[in-house]
Amino acid sequence: MGCSQAVTIGKREFSSQKMAVGYFMDQREAIKLSGPVTQGDFFEELKDLYTRYCECSSSWELNGRRIEGFVVEYELRENGRYAQHLCYKVLFSNKELRPFSVKKAVQAIVKASAE
CB neighbour class for 24 (10 Å; exposed up to 12, middle 13-18, buried from 19) = buried
| pLDDT in the model for residue 1 | 43
What is the domain partition of the chain in residue ranges?
7-114
CB 86 within 8 A of CB 30: no
> Which pLDDT score is estimated for 61?
80
Instruction: Give pLDDT, residue 49.
Output: 97
- Residue 83, pLDDT score: 81
What's the pLDDT at 103?
Answer: 95
Beta bridge partners of 85: 75
CATH topology of domain 7-114: Nuclear Transport Factor 2; Chain: A, (3.10.450)
Q: What is the model's pLDDT at position 3?
A: 59
Question: Could you tell me which of 56, 34, 38, 62 has the C-alpha nearest to residue 115?
Answer: 56
Q: How high is the pLDDT of residue 88?
A: 97
Tell me which residues of the chain have a pLDDT lower than 50: 1
For residue 65, how far is the Cα from the chain centroid? 17
What are the backbone angles phi and psi of residue 74, rounded to the nearest 5°? -75, 140
- 8, containing H or E segment: strand 7-9
